[in-house]
Amino acid sequence: MSATVEETTELAPRLPADNLRRAVRIGICGLGTVGSGTVNVMARNGEEIAARCGRPVEIVQVGARRDNAACDTSKLNVTREIFDVADNPDVDILVELIGGTTVARELVLAAINNGKHIVTANKALIAEHGNELFAAAAEKGVTIAYEAAVAGGIPIIKSLREGLVGNRIQWLAGIINGTGNYILTEMRDKGRSFAEALAQAQELGYAEADPTFDVEGIDAAHKLVIMASLAFAMPLAFDKVYTEGISGVSSEDIRYADELGYRIKHLGIARRTEHGVELRVHPTLIPQRRLIANVNGVMNAVLVNGDAVGPTLYYGAGAGAEATASAVIADIVDVARTLEAKPDQRVPAAGVAEGSQAGPQVLPMDEVVTSYYLRISAHDKPGVMSQVAKICSDQGISIEALIQHEPAEGEALVPVVILTSRAKEARLREAVAQIEALDTVEGEVVRIRVETLG
């Protein structure tokens, strides 16, 4: 290479004309946002991708029920029968971009059965059926790559599975749903209510007409179990994630959090403990000084703490046509490079060699230990605070910070805001039930978990 330094004048890399490796042949199923983005980026950056891959990458077939004006398919071989792609003997890698978990599962299983490698952006498919699919792929000696399933274009799967492989990962915490982060950012920056911010997100196309999947944390839970399975080398355990959405977060709580030096983010958290792995998605107060507290709008970020490396953070676009295509193409190149290699020369789909996974112990939510933000609506009478403090103390919980303002003009109720010490979830729930039962307290106590991420 050193000999050719002065001879090359190309500004972009290019596969040499005498390259002998045959093209890797891709079949893409699905021409929605990600599918069209993938077709466009591969067309635009094709030469550079081939140079990096060491061989040409060709789209030999596209399976899609309809065309998409966002990409030009006039030069592509398009079929309306997506299962044709799984059966096409010319296809080396099937790229599953149709979404959903029923047809997608069948399609992927059919392709695996035909000896094809799989690249997918489908978080629900991997989170819910990954254990089955990985086993089927291992049996056939093919691989399943799913970088695009988590946090869009951020190479977090690769980082967890390869980049941090020397570490015992202790915990990770991620802002892994852009819609939810956009809503919380708008609520904080513009003082909007949840409903107003959601409507705004829907208008901008960031949120679906039915936003449940995003705002209630199901999408984040899918991504969290995928990351946790790699971080802790355990099977995917989607049904064991504790999930709490952001629809109950009020702009009042965001203001109080600010006052205490915190931001409220919707986090997916996975933590290794002696008794099992915590898997939880919920609104969380985090100190403003943490980098991840300053990740705003639709952007995603994942903070990973390894025993050797310490904290590392990965930030970028968590969705979007080309950001997700970036991850799909990275997977295609990984698979293409090792197409003819032996199965054990590839990075295993589950992150560890077969038969090596750790147990699936997930810590029940009652056993999780963390701190809490509590907002209590109390009558402005003497003695309320001592009652609350006594209840907490009886459960082994101490009060670390407190905000109590004067009642607003003409208001009988005052909000009392508390930050607690670390306590078991079950203890906290008991304390909250007792506080709610007090005569001097009205309605439900707002409870948001607090993580220092330090």
What residues between 33 and 72 interact with a second copy by CB under 8 A? Answer: 37, 41-42, 44-45, 48-49, 51-55
Binders of a second copy in range 313-352 (CB under 8 A): 313-317, 320, 322-323, 325-330, 332-334, 337-338, 340-342, 344-348, 350-352
Between CA 255 and CA 350 the distance in angstroms is 42
Rounded least distance, CB 139 to a second copy, Å: 10
Token representation of residue 233: 């080398």
Binders of a second copy in range 118-157 (CB under 8 A): 131-132, 134-135, 138, 147, 152-155
Exposed, middle or buried by CB within 10 Å (0-12, 13-18, 19+), for 439? exposed
DSSP secondary structure code for residue 362 in this structure: B
Residue for token digits 């705002």? 215
Between CA 270 and CA 333 the distance in angstroms is 29
Binders of a second copy in range 228-247 (CB under 8 A): 233-235
355 binds a second copy (CB under 8 A): yes
Tell me if 36 is assigned to a ligand binding site. Answer: yes
DSSP secondary structure code for residue 385 in this structure: H
In the set 76, 165, 413, 426, which binds a second copy (CB under 8 A)?
A: 165
User: Which runs of consecutive H residues, i.e. helices, occur in 204-344?
Assistant: 212-215, 218-231, 251-259, 321-337
Token representation of residue 291: 């980098």
Tell me if 178 is assigned to a ligand binding site. Answer: no
Tell me if 34 is assigned to a ligand binding site. Answer: yes
Instruction: Reply yes or no on whether 240 is catalytic.
Output: no
Nearer Cβ to a second copy (314/373): 314
Tell me if 30 is assigned to a ligand binding site. Answer: yes
Binders of a second copy in range 395-454 (CB under 8 A): none
What Rg value do the Cα atoms of the chain yield, rounded? 25
Tell me if 123 is assigned to a ligand binding site. Answer: yes
DSSP secondary structure code for residue 147 in this structure: G
Instruction: Name residue 287's beta-bridge partners.
Output: 262
Residues 6 or more apart whose CB falls under 8 angstroms from that of 237 comprise 225, 228, 229, 279, 360, 362
Nearer Cβ to a second copy (43/412): 43
Tell me if 71 is assigned to a ligand binding site. Answer: no
| Sign of the alpha-carbon torsion through 346, 357, 229, 137 | positive
In the set 168, 190, 390, 405, which binds a second copy (CB under 8 A)?
A: 168
Nearer Cβ to a second copy (293/397): 293
Nearer Cβ to a second copy (294/452): 294
Residue for token digits 């596209």? 62
Instruction: Name residue 264's beta-bridge partners.
Output: 285
Instruction: Name residue 246's beta-bridge partners.
Output: none
Nearer Cβ to a second copy (357/370): 357
Nearest by Cα to 124 from 239, 243, 265? 239
Rounded least distance, CB 213 to a second copy, Å: 23
In the set 43, 195, 204, 358, which binds a second copy (CB under 8 A)?
A: 358
Nearer Cβ to a second copy (361/398): 361
Q: 154: helix, coil or strand?
A: coil
Rounded least distance, CB 420 to a second copy, Å: 28
Binders of a second copy in range 289-308 (CB under 8 A): 291, 294-295, 301, 306-308
Token representation of residue 15: 């596969």
Rounded least distance, CB 137 to a second copy, Å: 10
Nearer Cβ to a second copy (191/310): 310
Strand 369-379 and strand 413-420: the pairing is: antiparallel
Rounded least distance, CB 76 to a second copy, Å: 18
Tell me if 120 is assigned to a ligand binding site. Answer: no
Binders of a second copy in range 259-278 (CB under 8 A): 272, 274, 276
Residues in the interface with a second copy (CB under 8 A) total 106
Maximum alpha-carbon separation in the chain: 87
Tell me if 436 is assigned to a ligand binding site. Answer: no
Tell me if 248 is assigned to a ligand binding site. Answer: no
| Sign of the alpha-carbon torsion through 102, 103, 109, 113 | positive
Contact status, residue 324 vs residue 123, Cβ threshold 8 Å:
no
Nearer Cβ to a second copy (299/445): 299
Residues 6 or more apart whose CB falls under 8 angstroms from that of 154 comprise 300, 301, 302, 314, 315, 316, 317, 318, 327
Rounded least distance, CB 310 to a second copy, Å: 5
Catalytic site residue from 116, 158, 223, 265: 223
Q: Which residues are annotated as a binding site for NADPH?
A: 123
Binding residues for NADP(+): 29-36
Annotated binding site: 29-36, 123, 208
Annotated binding-site residue numbers for L-homoserine? 208
Residues annotated as catalytic are 223
